[in-house]
Chain A
Amino acid sequence: MKKIVVLVIVFIGLLLTPGWAGQDLFIKNGTLLTITKGIISGGDILIIDGKIRQIGQDLAPPEGIPVVDATGLYVMPGIIDSHTHIALSGTNEGSVAISSEVRMKDVINAEDTSIYTALTGGVTMVHTMHGSANPIGGENVVLKLKWGKTAEDMYVPYAYRTLKFALGENPKRANMMVVSANPRYPQTRMGVVAIIRREFEKARAYMEEWKRYNQLKKNKKLVSFLLPPRRNLRLEPLVLMMEGKMVARCHTYQADETLEFIKLSKEFGFKIGAFEHAWEAYKIAKELAAEKIGISVFADSWAYKMEAYQGIAYMAAFCAKNGVLVSINSDSGERIRRLFNDAAKTMRYGDLSEEEALKLITINPAIQLGVEKRVGSLEVGKDADIAIFKEHPLSAFTRCEKTIIEGEIYFDRAKYLEEQKKKEQKKKEKAEKKTPKGGLK
């Protein structure tokens, strides 16, 4: 009897605990920059269970729902950074040239303060990646920046599985301060291409081995004599790529090496999700548009190394206008908080319209990550990942006021200011306590 009572109580308790399904929120009277459905001035957004339920003017909020007044403010979908290395406790497995077995999923650091920093700039989702020290790096991961929650809560399972590749100076180790007596292979661009081809050839053979095994396994007489091939975790991601279950995200600078990688992708039949940095993409916009390969680039951070010396600030706009899917990334725990400024630079350098400029940090990176059905614009049915700005997000004078993920407010400037004030007051009180009152001379 007692057991039953305990079980019933536990069951009721379970029913009462709120799930992580997201929250309810009503955003009132803001200028809504929906990205895909134009601009709605004086618009409201109804969020139920972390999803956008309704968008429009003069919506009626359900009773008791928390309300955010966005009067005079600009509301846009949460910014998506298609290329960062934040929230990780390791980025480069540089000891070997090929490290496709490592996964960023295994080293998510949910307590990295860069997550909060990103939120203060309206960023809600990141593609956080392996570094560029290896021709083939590791598997990247997509996270929602739910600051204060666990790595599992942040993990986005429905995004593309992506593998990091890198070409040029970084896998060549060209900018190492000290040149080792026994430098790691490869040291040249030809070596980089050769080593990637070598790995794919190995993976192809490995794939064939498994195919044969699975074929022979069907024969019941043979089963007892068969040994399965030894599992190879380094080659498995490459097999997944050739099977179309994973895409390449390839760090590249020079136009020539970018084209060579496209050739490699055809040789082995894998898909390129996007080229990273791709500072010379403007030279081959034609080819990229024809191959339908996007780029994830800086707005104007350039000339920091030889292969970045022909990167022009006009590139993002030029490529976007010529049929290439462009996103603007940060690749930095600092730049990530001003991606909206970087997007505006495409209006200065290349005259993109406001809508086109905003796409570079919202729906375009979402498409590149395969999450465009869930995020990247303000649309009914999408996740309520939202950033609220004081001025138009493309104005130099703006700042982020609130960042919301699935209906929950993760950054609130008003609250932050209150907390800072409290902190200061506490500090003052402490200082007053320390100073002795009278008497002592």
Chain B
Amino acid sequence: MKGYLKMKTGIKKMVSRVNIKPGLSNFSSYFFSSRTKFNRKTITFGVVILSWLVINSLFLIAQQPEQVIAIKGAKIITVTGEEIPNGIILIKGKLIADIGPNVNIPSEAKVIEAQGLRAYPGLIDGYSFLGIQEISSVRATVDTRETGDINPQANSYEALRPDSVHIPITRANGITCALVAPTGGLISGMSGLIKLDGWTPGELVVKGPVAMHIQFPMPRRSFRRQSKPSVSTSKKINQLKKLFAEARYYEKRRLAAQKNTLLPYPDFDEKLEALLPVVHGQLPVMISVYAENDIKQVIKLVKEEKLKAILFGVHDGCKVANEIAQAGLPVVLDSLYNMPVRWEDGYDALYRNPAALVKAGVKIAFSSQSASVAKDLPWHAAKAVAFGLEAEEALKAVTINPAEIFGVADQMGSLEKGKLANIVLTDGDILEIKRHVKHLFIEGQEIDLSNYYTELLHKFEKRLNENK
């Protein structure tokens, strides 16, 4: 700002030297009046200065002054650090500029009185269909599943619909980011992380791709014990290995052709092309896998193929928790609105699974696995608390853990200085059902909490109050 003022006064001085005032009318008279006589040097100098002035002012119009917001008096749950019983969060632009019990509030700051409220980092959904599914049984509105078995080239975050009504409904419950993932087949495609605010797909996407999605089917409900690895799983593992080998060979052939002009280039193969970052161990695979033996086989596959991997679903996780922990694989749990596969595992198998995994040292995250009820994410975490998971761990599993798993922990997942200002203010524990979200910030912007629900509600509240 100061620099700009200096320049401005400098220009004024220069302009006064050539004896004109800036402004369009003067500008034209200066150039087109026949009576004025200046040498060429002065004219060129004037043109340069004026065009610089115009460009500079345009730039300043586009770049609004940084918004400063101070959230005052809330109980701040930072997730990664200590709780601050009565603190201040200072937002500058997109970022958290400062946070603590005593923070100087600049005079230009908009102050939000948050006494009696709690401040949390925005929640992150570990797996959703937000923006790619509107009405699940209406095919025209569903873009989650490509046809065929192998679709590594499909990209969920290139099919986003920012106007989905589910996005504002979800964020009004405290969720600020979500992984949007494809489903179906053996390789479903790539997922992206979105923030739940934006006009265009480009504005929504925070990171993409985040992972390549591979799916092993959920075992059918049965009472039989699975003592041997199921044939279909090992078949699928072999199919994957073959694909990975093909991708490596495809790349080899291309490199060889680049070096040796006598060799032909391999035909472009979109599927193998898309698998290259996977076999290089750069792009993680997110593998949906449920049964005990399938999980063991998948762990082996990940080791042998040297993949970077995230497990998803993992219904039998509590039975192989130690193996998963040893392999160092993080787990994104699927919706807890599911039934256990086997009767003998007990009714609460899926509910106690998160606690067992955490106890073994596995990093977990929760997910809604939905678009229409993605808003329920915090309540999946709470359900796990009811069955033994520590509340603190449950909160991590919807904030910092998914941020770490998706490689964005430097930007989000906790309330820390320098991170994006994704902040939720609630009137109670954020994992509780009955609490309300009072304010929401996504990348420093205060978000309007109204949504399709509230619009319809208000419309028909009006009808009720009509005297007809």
Question: Measured between alpha carbons, how far is A341 from B432 in the docked complex, in Å?
Answer: 10
- A87-95, A298-306, A371-379 - interface stretch: A298-306
CB distance from A254 to the nearest CB of B (A): 13
Instruction: Check if B27 is an interface residue, CB within 8 A of chain A.
Output: no
CB distance from B240 to the nearest CB of A (A): 29
Tell me which residues across on chain A come within 8 A of B348, comparing CB atoms: 120
Question: Measured between alpha carbons, how far is A127 from B461 in the docked complex, in Å?
Answer: 31
| A312 close to B453 (CB less than 8 A) | yes
| A397 close to B386 (CB less than 8 A) | yes
Instruction: Check if B195 is an interface residue, CB within 8 A of chain A.
Output: no
- A203-211, A230-238, A281-289 - interface stretch: A281-289
Can you list, as one digit per residue, whether each of B440-462 has a CB less than 8 Å from chain A (1) or not (0)? 00000000000011101100110
| B166 close to A303 (CB less than 8 A) | yes
Tell me which residues across on chain A come within 8 A of B347, comparing CB atoms: 116-117, 120, 337, 416
Can you list, as one digit per residue, whether each of B371-414 has a CB less than 8 Å from chain A (1) or not (0)? 11101101100110111000100000000000000000000000
| A348 close to B135 (CB less than 8 A) | no
Residue in A304, A334, A337 whose CB lies within 8 Å of B135 = A304
Residue in A301, A304, A335, A416 whose CB lies within 8 Å of B346 = A416
Instruction: Check if A105 is an interface residue, CB within 8 A of chain B.
Output: no
Residue in A117, A333, A344, A396 whose CB lies within 8 Å of B383 = A396
Closest to B387 in A: A399
Instruction: Check if A359 is an interface residue, CB within 8 A of chain B.
Output: no
Instruction: Check if A425 is an interface residue, CB within 8 A of chain B.
Output: no
| B386 close to A303 (CB less than 8 A) | no
Instruction: Check if B435 is an interface residue, CB within 8 A of chain A.
Output: yes
Closest to B337 in A: A334
Tell me which residues across on chain A come within 8 A of B371, comparing CB atoms: 303
| A396 close to B135 (CB less than 8 A) | no
Residue in B343, B351, B382, B433 whose CB lies within 8 Å of A113 = B343
How large, as a class, is the contact surface on chain B?
35 or more
Closest to B173 in A: A348
Instruction: Check if B57 is an interface residue, CB within 8 A of chain A.
Output: no
Instruction: Check if B138 is an interface residue, CB within 8 A of chain A.
Output: yes
| B434 close to A348 (CB less than 8 A) | yes
| A347 close to B463 (CB less than 8 A) | no
| A309 close to B135 (CB less than 8 A) | yes
- 21 of the cross-chain contacts (CB-CB < 8 Å) are A113-B343, A283-B460, A286-B463, A286-B464, A303-B165, A303-B166, A304-B135, A306-B138, A310-B456, A312-B456, A335-B337, A341-B379, A341-B383, A345-B433, A347-B433, A348-B434, A390-B386, A391-B386, A394-B434, A395-B432, A399-B386
- With known contacts A318-B457, A345-B433, A348-B433, A304–B463 Cβ distance under 8 A: no
Instruction: Check if A435 is an interface residue, CB within 8 A of chain B.
Output: no
How large, as a class, is the contact surface on chain A?
35 or more
Question: Measured between alpha carbons, how far is A420 from B345 in the docked complex, in Å?
Answer: 8
| A314 close to B457 (CB less than 8 A) | yes
Closest to B133 in A: A303
Question: Measured between alpha carbons, how far is A116 from B348 in the docked complex, in Å?
Answer: 12
Can you list, as one digit per residue, whether each of A182-197 has a CB less than 8 Å from chain B (1) or not (0)? 0000000000000000
| A313 close to B453 (CB less than 8 A) | yes
Closest to B384 in A: A397
Instruction: Check if B344 is an interface residue, CB within 8 A of chain A.
Output: yes
**Contact residues, B78-111 vs A (CB, 8 A):** none
Tell me which residues across on chain A come within 8 A of B461, comparing CB atoms: 318
Tell me which residues across on chain A come within 8 A of B434, comparing CB atoms: 344, 347-348, 394
Instruction: Check if A71 is an interface residue, CB within 8 A of chain B.
Output: no
Question: Measured between alpha carbons, how far is A348 from B436 in the docked complex, in Å?
Answer: 6
Tell me which residues across on chain B come within 8 A of A410, comparing CB atoms: none
Residue in B343, B387, B453 whose CB lies within 8 Å of A314 = B453
Instruction: Check if B222 is an interface residue, CB within 8 A of chain A.
Output: no
Closest to A308 in B: B135
- With known contacts A312-B453, A347-B433, A397–B138 Cβ distance under 8 A: no
Instruction: Check if B230 is an interface residue, CB within 8 A of chain A.
Output: no
| A396 close to B433 (CB less than 8 A) | yes
Tell me which residues across on chain B come within 8 A of A391, comparing CB atoms: 386
Question: Measured between alpha carbons, how far is A304 from B379 in the docked complex, in Å?
Answer: 20
Instruction: Check if B7 is an interface residue, CB within 8 A of chain A.
Output: no
Instruction: Check if A398 is an interface residue, CB within 8 A of chain B.
Output: yes
| A303 close to B135 (CB less than 8 A) | yes
Instruction: Check if B137 is an interface residue, CB within 8 A of chain A.
Output: yes
For B165, B391, B432, the residue with the greatest tally of chain A CB atoms inside 10 Å of its CB is B432
Tell me which residues across on chain B come within 8 A of A309, comparing CB atoms: 134-135
Instruction: Check if B136 is an interface residue, CB within 8 A of chain A.
Output: yes
Instruction: Check if A212 is an interface residue, CB within 8 A of chain B.
Output: no
| A305 close to B386 (CB less than 8 A) | no
Tell me which residues across on chain B come within 8 A of A214, comparing CB atoms: none
Residue in A285, A310, A396 whose CB lies within 8 Å of B464 = A285
Question: Measured between alpha carbons, how far is A312 from B461 in the docked complex, in Å?
Answer: 13
Residue in A113, A390, A396 whose CB lies within 8 Å of B379 = A396
- With known contacts A304-B137, A334-B338, A335-B337, A349–B382 Cβ distance under 8 A: no
Question: Measured between alpha carbons, how far is A304 from B141 in the docked complex, in Å?
Answer: 11
Closest to A349 in B: B453
**Contact residues, A321-338 vs B (CB, 8 A):** 322, 333-335, 337-338
Question: Measured between alpha carbons, how far is A302 from B136 in the docked complex, in Å?
Answer: 10
Question: Measured between alpha carbons, how far is A313 from B391 in the docked complex, in Å?
Answer: 26
Question: Measured between alpha carbons, how far is A359 from B452 in the docked complex, in Å?
Answer: 27
CB distance from A210 to the nearest CB of B (A): 43
| B339 close to A394 (CB less than 8 A) | no
Tell me which residues across on chain A come within 8 A of B338, comparing CB atoms: 334
Tell me which residues across on chain B come within 8 A of A57, comparing CB atoms: none
Tell me which residues across on chain A come within 8 A of B341, comparing CB atoms: none
Closest to A300 in B: B373
